[in-house]
Amino acid sequence: MQRLTENDPATKSPDLAAANLAALRALFPELVTEGADGVAVNLDVLKQLVGDKTVTDAEEKYGLNWHGKRRARQLALGLVAWHHALKPAGETTVVFRDSAFADDVAKTNLTAILHQHGLETVRSL
């Protein structure tokens, strides 16, 4: 068995945002530009490419919104990325504390997001 060091590629999580930007750049080269913090997506160009078929969370006609929705989505996608990066041999169980959420809706939605991405065993304390 080979010993892993801190600089080995196997010890690094994949950069999903960079992969998504690369895919967008391959499909729509004019969409990706250089911003103040590096590579960025030009939303004005995106709107030109897709016409009036864009919507923001604030403009959604129907939707379920709650305080902390963005943070819950980030947390869930981070757990999914961790799960895919480590590729556990057995089943993975995600356990979270009830007091971390303001209400049951947030817990239910986090659980649903994790289930959609293949994490079947989700429990709360």
- Using one digit for the tens of pLDDT, what is the confidence trace for 71-115? 888 888 888 777 777 766 567 677 777 777 777 777 787 888 777
Identify the pLDDT of residue 28.
Answer: 87
Both tokens of 82, joined, read: 């961790």
Closest by CA to 96, choosing from 60, 69, 122, is: 122
Identify the pLDDT of residue 61.
Answer: 64
**What does the mean pLDDT of the chain come to?**
78
Report the amino acid identity of residue 53: K
Tell me the percentage of the chain whose pLDDT exceeds 90: 2
SS (H, E, C) the chain: CCCCCCCCHHHCCCCHHHHHHHHHHHHCCCCEEEECCEEEECHHHHHHHHCCCCCCHHHCCCCCCCCCHHHHHHHHHHHHHHHHHHCCCCCCEEEECHHHCCCHHHHHHHHHHHHHCCCCEEEEC
How open is the CA angle 59-17-37, to the nearest 5 degrees?
A: 85
Encode pLDDT of 9-51 as tens digits.
Answer: 777 777 888 888 899 899 988 888 887 888 888 888 888 888 7
What is the CB neighbour count within 10 angstroms for residue 9?
A: 7
What's this model's pTM, rounded to 2 decimal places? 0.41
Say yes or no to pLDDT of 117 above 60: yes
- The C-alpha atoms of residue 114 and residue 97 are separated, in whole angstroms, by 15
